[in-house]
């Protein structure tokens, strides 16, 4: 078990805050927070393909970032992972990868939904071999210093779109709904396999106080996953429920905890995502800035789901009055270590704690 990291001096207390968060328990001292600060960037990241094929530059950049962030006693965990953007899973299935303009994508390889039964993850193809080599490099470089994150498990709709094409998939919803369901079932099988490979080969060997770090730089219990359904921003909630939701239920149910990324453009899916029992955490924009209907969807899930919320320091009090204290992780930015520490102190005051080991007095709403 790894119980100390060079770039995470407050590892034990940060893990304990996260452990209670994932269990939907009251915080002991303050709500978990990530407060990001600037650092001297030598190789600035512009998009998800900036470091494609450049693992040494990537590691150099991240280590500079970790050295600065280590002075902030928050719940952001120093983490690296191979740099293949959103193209990796489809590439393991045989899709060619393209990289340009600081991003990475894959080329669809399915022309007919009748071909989907033959899809499989080939860990020995070009991209599987490169990915595994990158994992080995990073695990060796990170040992005792920082974590190697488990790679994002692409969403069901995202993987289907990558393999078949987003526009073709939309037509297939109407032209071949049974074929879409067979395709989604097979894709879900592959995503579960990919997530379990990550937990078994990346997460478990590090055993970070009983957990692992996902690509969101967050501690999660062992055998967890982070996913997304970016393609669903194009679907109505009814369409998502008809074609994708049941597969997300099976995907998320295969893991201890599941995080799902929700973009602002996908706020209309919050209620539908919240209906999936296995989805534990939703990463969302500040609900105070949402349209009323979307904010109400969040309100209905408070105490049932965990929310990762970006917030400006001057909005923290109002946000906590809306959300309460349980099941909330706040993410903010600061211009310096001192400012970051003041933000954390503010969160501690607002959490209104009793002495360690005692109960928590909730805010009044």
Q: Give the DSSP per-residue string, 314-335.
A: GGHHHHHHHH-STTEEEEEE-S
Determine the Cα–Cα distance for residues 2 and 17; give it in Å rounded to an integer: 17
With left for phi above 0 and alpha for psi between -120 and 50, is residue 122 left, alpha or beta? Answer: beta
**E strands present in the chain:** 33-36, 79-80, 97-100, 103-106, 147-148, 211-213, 219-221, 225-228, 258-261, 281-284, 306-310, 328-333
Q: What is the pTM of this model?
A: 0.95
What are the backbone dihedrals phi and psi of residue 17, each rounded to the nearest 5 degrees, phi first?
-60, -40
Tokens 């295969």 correspond to: 254
| Tens-binned pLDDT, residue by residue, of the chain (365 aa) | 899 999 999 999 999 999 999 999 999 899 999 999 999 999 999 999 999 999 999 999 999 999 999 999 999 999 999 999 999 999 999 999 999 999 999 999 999 999 999 999 999 999 999 999 999 999 999 999 999 999 999 999 999 999 999 999 999 999 999 999 999 999 999 999 999 999 999 999 999 999 999 999 999 999 999 999 999 999 999 999 999 999 999 999 999 999 999 999 999 999 999 999 999 999 999 999 999 999 999 999 999 999 999 999 999 999 999 999 999 999 999 999 999 999 999 999 999 743 333 333 444 33
CB 37, CB 68: distance < 8 Å:
yes
């Amino acid at each position: 078990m790894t119980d100390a990291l060079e770039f995470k001096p407050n590892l034990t207390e940060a893990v304990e805050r996260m452990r209670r968060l994932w269990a939907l328990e009251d915080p002991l001292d303050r709500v978990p927070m990530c407060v990001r600060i600037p650092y001297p960037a030598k190789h600035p990241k512009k998009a998800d393909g900036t470091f494609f094929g450049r693992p040494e530059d990537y590691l150099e950049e991240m280590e500079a970032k970790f050295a600065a962030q280590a002075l902030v006693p928050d719940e952001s965990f120093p983490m690296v992972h191979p740099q293949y953007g959103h193209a990796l899973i489809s590439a393991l299935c045989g899709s060619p990868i393209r990289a340009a303009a600081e991003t990475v994508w894959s080329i669809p390889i399915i022309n007919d939904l009748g071909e989907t039964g033959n899809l499989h993850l080939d860990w020995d193809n070009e991209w599987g071999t490169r990915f595994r080599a990158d994992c080995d490099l990073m695990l060796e470089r990170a040992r005792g210093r920082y974590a190697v994150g488990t790679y994002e498990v692409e969403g069901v709709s995202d993987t289907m779109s990558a393999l078949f094409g987003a526009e073709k998939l939309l037509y297939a919803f109407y032209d071949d709904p049974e074929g879409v369901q067979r395709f989604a079932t097979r894709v879900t099988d592959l995503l579960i396999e990919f997530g379990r490979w990550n937990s078994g080969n990346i997460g478990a060997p590090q055993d970070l106080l009983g957990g692992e770090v996902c690509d969101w730089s967050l501690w999660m219990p062992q055998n967890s996953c982070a996913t997304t359904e970016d393609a669903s921003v194009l679907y109505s909630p009814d369409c998502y429920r008809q074609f994708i939701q049941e597969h997300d239920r099976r995907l998320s149910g295969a893991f201890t905890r599941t995080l799902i990324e929700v973009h602002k453009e996908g706020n209309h899916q919050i209620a539908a995502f919240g209906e999936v029992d296995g989805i534990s955490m939703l990463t969302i924009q500040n609900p105070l800035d949402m349209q009323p209907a979307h904010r109400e969807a969040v309100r209905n899930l408070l105490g049932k789901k965990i929310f990762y919320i970006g917030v400006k320091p001057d909005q923290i009090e109002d946000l906590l009055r809306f959300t309460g204290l349980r099941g909330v992780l706040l993410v903010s930015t600061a211009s310096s270590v001192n400012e970051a520490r003041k933000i954390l102190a503010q969160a501690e005051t607002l959490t209104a704690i009793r002495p360690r080991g005692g109960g928590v007095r909730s805010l009044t709403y």
